Amino acid sequence: MKSHWEEALRRGFCFHEKRAAQPSKSSLLPNFARYPSNHMNQLSLRINAIEESATLAMAAKAREYKAKGIDVINLALGEPDFKTPPHICEAAKKSIDEGKYFAYPPVAGYQDLREAIAAKYNKENNVPYKAEHIVVSNGAKQSIANVMFALINPGDEVIVFSPYWVSYDAIIRLAEGTPVMVNGHIDNDFKVTAAQLGKAITPKTRAIIFSSPCNPTGSVFSKNELQAIANVVQEHPGLLIIADEIYEHINFTGDQTSIASFPGMFERTITINGFAKGFAMTGWRVGYLAAPKWIADGAIKMQGQLTSANSSIAQRAALAAIAGDIAPTIRMVDEYRKRRELVHKLLKDVPGVKANYPMGAFYFFPDVSHFFGKTDGSRTIRDGDDLCMYLLEKAHVSLVPGGAFGDPNCLRLSYAASEKDLVEAMRRLKETLAGLKKADHAVVA
């Protein structure tokens, strides 16, 4: 069977051109295929097949505006606005002062950190992981990449619950797998049902990936919903599930269930997690996977060739986070809960915007399709990408187009920002959106 790359070469075009014909992806992103081509500057088909991360691209645009002195409120990045708790920083400083952590750490991470992660899963998530099942990486993003590269053969299908976190799609394609998007609907809190999943599975399906709490929708699968998904998975020998639990602490339901805890699911589950969100440690770059040993060993092999271990100092900080005082995390989550209430109330007050009530993470993912085709008299909004750019230019609020997450009708709004900024951002959004009218009602400037 031909790989994606061979097929693309045969047809003489790159994936990006093919995808550009589809309306879903962001036109804000650079099209590498547009560069004049000769042998020297030709990037690989692998790289041309993926786009720059839309969240990072929007954040860069917002920074550009800020550099020009424009007062942009950035609600585009998925990043806690809190500082890393002091006891975690202290552990990192101490590790430097001790001078013991200068050498390459073991590829899978320090044994004490792997043991602490396993212990947390035994105690809090009811999953009997041991240190040998844990692989610490340079962020959860690398854990996901490790597992995809360790498991996927060319042409294998990976079912992605959509809306989905931006990088799943690109990482699967880089691993030469085929992402198969299964769409959750806003009226079901964007959650894919077990019945939908059952219909999407084919003999080529190797794995399923989702996040719960979900980035970008904030939805959280209940125990019963996860059990129904597990039941479907167990009907298919060899089918694996990649459960991304990186937002597990920022869950307002009080029910954080790990699908690996269900009978028969330990052997089929790769759990992804990390320190970025719950401990406000995005820049420290520590994530991990927990999986049956044969998969963990595959991930270690992959990581050993690409990056080696995660930074020794960041790992000492991560140990302090996971084995230490959880009170700072609880305080941050209380703050997120308050902000969710605030934004929910303010969003309900914006005519034309339809939003779900997120139960976790720190995002809203409102449907803004009402504004497509509307105009302010001089400019007509075509789609979500267009609206996002319009809101940045007119309201000076930076959001991310939903197409990057699989739903072009929506925009992602991060409420990991101060109350003051959130109130002002919502005021600007309401005012700017109110200026968009049906073409025949618009006052032509």
> Could you give the CA distance from residue 26 to residue 23 in angstroms, rounded to a whole number?
8
Q: Given the complex with ligand PLP, which of 273 and 369 has the nearer CB atom?
A: 273
- Interface residue with ligand PLP among 54, 58, 76, 78 (CB under 6 A) is 78
Q: Which amino acid type is present at position 374? A: K
Q: Given the complex with ligand PLP, which of 110 and 210 has the nearer CB atom?
A: 210
Touching ligand PLP, residues 149-178 (CB under 6 A): 165
Q: Is 278 in the site for ligand PLP (CB under 6 A)?
A: no
- Interface residue with ligand PLP among 139, 328, 403, 408 (CB under 6 A) is 139
Q: Is 287 in the site for ligand PLP (CB under 6 A)?
A: yes
Query: Which stretch in 44-52, 137-145, 345-353, 369-377 sits in contact with ligand PLP by CB under 6 A?
Result: 137-145
- Interface residue with ligand PLP among 61, 114, 141, 412 (CB under 6 A) is 141
Query: Which stretch in 59-67, 112-120, 136-144, 228-236 sits in contact with ligand PLP by CB under 6 A?
Result: 136-144
Q: Is 274 in the site for ligand PLP (CB under 6 A)?
A: yes
Q: Which residues contact 270 (CB under 8 A, 6 or more apart)?
A: 147, 207, 240, 241, 242, 243, 289, 290, 291, 295
Nearest residue by C-beta to ligand PLP? Answer: 139
Helix axis angle, 140-151 relative to 293-306, nearest 10°?
110
**Contact call for residues 331 and 305 (beta carbons, < 8 A):** no
Query: Which stretch in 135-143, 252-260, 323-331, 389-397 sits in contact with ligand PLP by CB under 6 A?
Result: 135-143
**Contact call for residues 201 and 159 (beta carbons, < 8 A):** yes
Handedness of CA 23, 363, 274, 253 (dihedral sign): negative
Q: Is 241 in the site for ligand PLP (CB under 6 A)?
A: no
Q: Given the complex with ligand PLP, which of 129 and 210 has the nearer CB atom?
A: 210
Q: Is 140 in the site for ligand PLP (CB under 6 A)?
A: yes
By CB under 6 A, the count of residues binding ligand PLP is 13
Q: Is 282 in the site for ligand PLP (CB under 6 A)?
A: yes
Q: Is 242 in the site for ligand PLP (CB under 6 A)?
A: no
**In the complex, least distance from residue 274 CB atom to ligand PLP, rounded to whole angstroms:** 4
Touching ligand PLP, residues 195-224 (CB under 6 A): 211, 215
> Could you give the CA distance from residue 254 to residue 274 in angstroms, rounded to a whole number?
19
> Could you give the CA distance from residue 134 to residue 144 in angstroms, rounded to a whole number?
13
Q: Residue numbers of the site for ligand PLP (CB under 6 A)?
A: 78, 139-141, 165, 211, 215, 244, 246, 274, 276, 282, 287
